Amino acid sequence: MKTLLELKNIQCRYDGQIAVDDLSLHVRQGDIFCLLGPSGCGKTTALRAIAGFEPVSAGEILIEGECVSRPGRSLPPEKRRLGMVFQDYALFPHLDLGDNITFGLRGEDKSERRRRAEELLETVGLTGYAGRFPHELSGGQQQRVALARALAPEPRMILMDEPFSNLDVELRERLGGEVRAILKARGITALMVTHDQHEAFAIGDQIGVMREGRLLQRDTAFNLYHEPAERFVAEFIGQGAFVKGTLEAPDTIVTVLGVIQGNRAYEWPRGSMVEVLIRPDDIVADAEGPLIAKVVGKAFKGAETLYTLEMGGGERLLSLFPSHHDHAIGEQVRVRLQVDHLVAFPA
Ligand code: ATP
């Protein structure tokens, strides 16, 4: 697939302060890419630079091979042929949904525009809603209308800025899945920014984790979770704890919990002090297990319970037990390590 969007070492500043630094990435035609990071990491600035609302102070942005931003030159937003979906749906309250969706379309006659609005409403699962008004819809429905409106002028790509953060958590993931299905069915390329990893997991083919203006890792959700390249990514994505250890061989680390062997080779000198990431799914309930732990916290999750366990040396780890294993705080349980992905960082 050809590359639709390319950022080459872009930098964005506000009054000399760097908000985005040396950011490079590309998004292929039909892919959904998410920029994920904590508040203030620069993801919104990057999105605004792509949209043409912020200039770049270094590097360049190309869309379909054409340079749209470089220092001193910026193609205006309306000439970039990109669709935008914002956090606040920004629908016009006094226009019905049909007119909201076709607001930006010019040159076509009214009946043709109405037909187009109805087709787009069908695409986003709101068939027959053209005559309704925004206040008659739920937040999730309004956001789907906002998506239909962004799609109406047939943009080259959709940009979404925290599109689901006004919705409650359950709806967020569901709508994320729905929006993904809509974009995929139409082969639409999209870039979304969010601080919510579950939102990013629900929608993105590829996720880029940002911190302090920089892109740390670009990968699938699976790899970000199981093979984080930096400690920040390991801590930001998913849950877990670090246990101290010593590198015995490139794929073998000795820890107080035992010898951990994994799928990865580290080239640090033998004897190096390291910290090993232990995810909740790396510690398995096992009545015959070699490790004894004390339950010091529990959080019921439905199908599973997330226990906080204190090990013999005082280390605290998280572990997911099947929900029917019901243990009280203070109780002792037996577990074993089952580390399929070895993730370690220098101590
Ligand atoms: P959030 O999720 O909170 O919106 P973000 O990751 O999207 O955060 P940005 O909004 O891109 O981050 O901000 C990056 C940095 O740039 C921050 O330090 C922020 O304070 C600064 N910044 C953002 N907008 C402006 C502005 N208009 N003027 C000056 N500084 C700004």
Query: What pLDDT shows up at residue 340?
Result: 86
Q: Is the CB of 194 under 6 A from ligand 1?
A: no
Q: Is the CB of 19 under 6 A from ligand 1?
A: yes
Q: Do the beta carbons of residue 270 and residue 248 sit within 8 Å?
A: yes
Q: Do the beta carbons of residue 197 and residue 236 sit within 8 Å?
A: yes
Q: Which residue, by CA, sits nearest to atom 26 of ligand 1?
A: 14
Whole-Å CA distances, 158 to 136, 147, 162, 231, 291: 26, 9, 13, 31, 50
Instruction: Give me the residue label for tokens 């984080």.
Output: 228
Q: Is the CB of 37 under 6 A from ligand 1?
A: yes
CA–centroid distance, 311 to ligand 1, in Å, is 41
Over the stretch 61-101, which tens digit does the pLDDT of each residue have? Answer: 999 999 999 999 999 999 999 999 988 878 999 999 999 99
Kindly report the CA angle at 165 between 161 and 169, in degrees rounded to 5? Answer: 145
Structure tokens at 165: 């953060």
Q: Is the CB of 40 under 6 A from ligand 1?
A: yes
Q: Which atom of ligand 1 has the smallest separation from the CA of 195? A: 2
Q: Tell which residue, 160, 161, 153, 158, has the closest CA to residue 103.
A: 153
Give the residues across from 295 on adjacent strands.
309
Element (H, E) at 36: strand 32-36
Query: What pLDDT shows up at residue 245?
Result: 95
Q: Read out DSSP for 112-124?
A: HHHHHHHHHHHHT
Structure tokens at 316: 């605290």
CA–centroid distance, 11 to ligand 1, in Å, is 13
**At residue 163, what is the residue type?**
P
Q: Which pLDDT tens digits describe the chain residue by residue (347 residues)? A: 899 999 999 999 999 899 999 999 999 999 999 999 999 999 999 999 999 999 999 999 999 999 999 999 999 999 999 999 988 878 999 999 999 999 878 777 888 889 999 999 998 889 999 999 999 998 889 989 999 999 999 999 999 999 888 888 878 888 888 899 999 999 999 999 999 999 999 999 999 999 999 999 999 999 999 999 999 999 999 999 999 999 999 999 999 999 999 888 999 999 999 999 999 999 999 999 999 999 999 999 999 999 999 998 899 999 999 989 999 999 999 999 999 899 999 99
Q: Do the beta carbons of residue 20 and residue 7 sit within 8 Å?
A: no
Q: How far apart are CA 53 and CA 75, in angstroms?
A: 10
Over the stretch 153-194, which tens digit does the pLDDT of each residue have? Answer: 999 999 999 988 888 887 888 888 889 999 999 999 999 999
Q: How far apart are CA 242 and CA 65, in angstroms?
A: 44
Give 274's DSSP letter.
E
Structure tokens at 219: 């990968």
Can you give the pTM of this predicted structure?
0.90
Q: Tell which residue, 265, 198, 274, 276, has the closest CA to residue 236.
A: 198
CA–centroid distance, 299 to ligand 1, in Å, is 34
Query: What pLDDT shows up at residue 90?
Result: 83
Q: Read out DSSP for 167-224?
A: S-HHHHHHHHHHHHHHHHHTT--EEEEES-HHHHHHH-SEEEEEETTEEEEEE-HHHH
Q: Is 297 helix (H, G, I), strand (E, B) or coil?
A: strand
Structure tokens at 275: 């910290």
Q: Tell which residue, 300, 301, 293, has the closest CA to residue 241.
A: 293
Q: Which atom of ligand 1 has the smallest separation from the CA of 47? A: 11
